[in-house]
Amino acid sequence: MSRRRKAKKRLILQDSIYNSILVSKFINTLLLAGKKTIAQHIFYEAMNSINKIVQKEPLEILRRAIQNATPVIEVKARRIGGATYQVPTQVKTERGTSLALKLIIKNARKRPGRSMINKLTNEIIDAYNNTGNAIKKKEEIHKMAEANKAFSNIKM
C-alpha cells in the first residue's frame, strides 16, 4: 500500500437493467477471469428465479440480503512488540457492502450442485431470510470481535 497519497475511488457505472450501482458491484465481484457477460447472465437469471420463487421485487430482496450479511465489526491484526493482537474495529459502509458481496458469492460457490444460477439464487434467498452460510460467517466475525473486546483500546 502506498504511503504517498490516498487511492482514488473508481467510478462504477450503473447496470443497464436495474439501473443500480449495487448490481454492478455484485456482477463485478461475481465475475471470474474477466468473463463479465457470463457473470451478468448468471446474475440476471438468478434474479429472475428469485422473482419466480419469492414473487417480490428481486432488487429489494438483494438489498435486504446484502444488508443482512453485512458485518458491523471485524478484527484486524495489530503487531505490538513481539505479539500480534486481534483488534476489533468498526466496518465502514463501503467495506461492509464489499464484505457482504464476497460472503454471499463465496458461500454460493461452495454450495453443492451443478448450476451457479441455482446456488446463487438459494444463497441470496437464505441471506434474505437470515439463514445460510453467509449469515453464519458474519456471526462468526462478530463472535471473534466480541472475544477480542479486551484489545479494543489498542489504536489501529
* CATH value at residue 114: 1.10.455.10
Residue 85 lies in a domain: no
Residue 129 lies in a domain: yes
| pTM confidence score | 0.90
Q: What is the pLDDT of residue 154?
A: 82
Residue 120 lies in a domain: yes
Total count of domains within the chain? 1
Q: Give the residue among 2, 7, 46, 53 at the shortest CA–CA distance from 23.
A: 46
pLDDT in tens, 79-121: 988 999 899 999 999 999 999 999 999 999 999 999 999 999 9
Residue 50 lies in a domain: yes
User: With contact defined as beta carbons under 8 Å apart, do 139 and 66 qualify?
Assistant: no
Residue 118 lies in a domain: yes
Lowest mean pLDDT among 1-5, 19-23, 39-43, 48-52: 1-5
Under 8 Å CB-to-CB from 108, ≥6 apart: which residues?
116, 119, 120, 122, 123, 124
CA 15, 20, 23, 29 dihedral sign is positive
| Burial class of residue 32 in the structure, from the number of CB atoms within 10 Å of its CB (0-12 exposed, 13-18 middle, 19+ buried) | exposed
pLDDT in tens, 25-76: 999 999 999 999 999 999 999 999 999 999 999 999 999 999 999 999 999 9
Residue 136 lies in a domain: yes
Q: Which three cell numbers stand for residue 49?
A: 428465479
- Residue 126: give the domain boundaries: 21-71+94-144
- Check pLDDT > 70 for residue 1: no
User: With contact defined as beta carbons under 8 Å apart, do 68 and 127 qualify?
Assistant: yes
DSSP state of 80: E
Q: Which three cell numbers stand for residue 67?
A: 444488508
